[in-house]
């Protein structure tokens, strides 16, 4: 049992009556890593996280945090984990400071200085009662409460959905400092852009299955490019046919458009340069576009997922 690995999921499965919310997910998260957990609504992200913090019992498989079984050793797991749930549960009549003192008291720790420092960086007023806070400020308070005991693993369920871009940037800086100190982060979202700036790796979950895990650096290398070429003379679509990975090829008059992965660009360019070119554009597609393929479940993505799993 490796007690230095923040997260090990092994065939983790959760069924609710006839719904399989999570289906045999296996995954490891390394120390010092921010793992972005992406998927559309209802994909199984929250279910995974609730099992990781010992709130739900797995139907099959296991979840371990630093070698601890998250269901059987939930109390010890709680000491190692800071959790921001999708819907933070706060006491409406308590102020931020009162929440901090109450949790510090329960844990037998003096976490005020750390809590105040995080609150200041996020621009949160700790003297207001939580029922008077806006959605974004409630989220900030949940983040403060999760970070204040300096846990080794942070599990964050869509933590930035209500935060403005400047606060998001500060929050990402906090996460980076956390991982530089050897901590790890599991961060969920249904929007790639939310995790793209901070994640080292990304996993895509769809209908309870982990369909892809990619290093962000590799993903950029594989991303789609939109190509547009305008020719001086007539060309035929067949001149550009049969290049592996090229999609949405269209020829309108003497203008060719298509999408191509980086691996196809060299062959495509050579075919294009076989003709008299008037104009040529090649732009990298947004990463979100690549992920749409996973979400929509077309054959291309499933093939990629199978390759990744192999």
Find, among 105, 130, 108, 109, the residue nearest to 119 by Cα: 130
Contacts of 36 (CB under 8 A, 6+ apart): 187, 188, 189, 192, 195, 196, 198, 199, 201, 202, 203, 216
Find, among 50, 59, 131, the residue nearest to 98 by Cα: 131
The nearest distance, CB 49 to ligand ATP, in angstroms, is: 8
Q: Which is nearer to ligand ATP, 182 or 297 (CB)?
A: 297
Interface residues toward ligand ATP, by CB under 6 A: 16, 19, 21, 39, 41-47, 86, 190
The nearest distance, CB 135 to ligand ATP, in angstroms, is: 15
Give SS3 for 277: strand
Q: CA angle, corner 111, sides to 109 and 112, nearest 5?
A: 135
Write out the two tokens for 63: 């979840």
Q: Which is nearer to ligand ATP, 99 or 206 (CB)?
A: 206
Q: Which is nearer to ligand ATP, 86 or 245 (CB)?
A: 86
Q: Which is nearer to ligand ATP, 16 or 102 (CB)?
A: 16
C-alpha span between 251 and 238 (Å, rounded): 10
Q: Which is nearer to ligand ATP, 21 or 81 (CB)?
A: 21
The nearest distance, CB 153 to ligand ATP, in angstroms, is: 18
Find, among 224, 183, 219, the residue nearest to 201 by Cα: 219
Q: Which is nearer to ligand ATP, 202 or 268 (CB)?
A: 202
The nearest distance, CB 206 to ligand ATP, in angstroms, is: 9
The nearest distance, CB 296 to ligand ATP, in angstroms, is: 16
Cα-trace Rg, the chain: 23
The nearest distance, CB 211 to ligand ATP, in angstroms, is: 13
């Amino acid at each position: 049992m490796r007690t230095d690995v923040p997260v090990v999921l092994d065939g983790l499965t959760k069924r609710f009556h006839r719904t399989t919310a999570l289906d045999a997910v296996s995954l490891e998260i390394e120390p010092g890593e921010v793992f972005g957990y992406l998927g559309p609504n209802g994909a199984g992200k929250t279910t995974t996280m609730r099992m990781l913090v010992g709130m739900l019992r797995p139907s099959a498989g296991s979840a371990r945090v630093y070698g601890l079984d998250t269901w059987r050793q939930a109390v010890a797991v709680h000491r190692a984990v800071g959790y921001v749930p999708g819907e933070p549960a706060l006491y409406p009549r308590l102020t931020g400071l009162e929440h901090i003192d109450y949790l510090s008291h329960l844990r037998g720790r003096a976490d005020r200085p750390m809590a105040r420092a995080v609150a200041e960086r996020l621009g949160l007023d700790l003297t207001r009662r939580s029922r008077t806070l806006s959605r974004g400020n409630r989220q900030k308070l949940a983040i403060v409460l999760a970070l204040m005991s300096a846990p080794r693993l942070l599990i964050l369920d869509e933590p930035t959905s209500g935060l403005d871009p400047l606060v998001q940037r500060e929050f990402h800086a906090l996460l980076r400092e956390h991982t530089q100190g050897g901590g790890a982060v599991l961060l969920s979202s249904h929007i790639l852009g939310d995790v793209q700036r901070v994640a080292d790796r990304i996993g895509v979950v769809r209908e309870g299955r982990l369909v892809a895990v990619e290093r962000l650096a590799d993903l950029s290398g594989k991303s789609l490019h939109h190509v547009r070429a305008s020719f001086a003379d007539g060309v035929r679509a067949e001149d550009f046919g049969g290049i592996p990975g090229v999609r949405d090829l269209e020829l309108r008059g003497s203008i060719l458009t298509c999408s191509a992965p980086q691996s196809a660009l060299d062959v495509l360019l050579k075919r294009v340069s076989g003709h008299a070119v008037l104009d040529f554009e090649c732009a990298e597609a947004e990463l979100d576009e690549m992920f749409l393929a996973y979400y929509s479940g077309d054959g291309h993505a499933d093939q990629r997922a199978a390759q990744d799993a192999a």
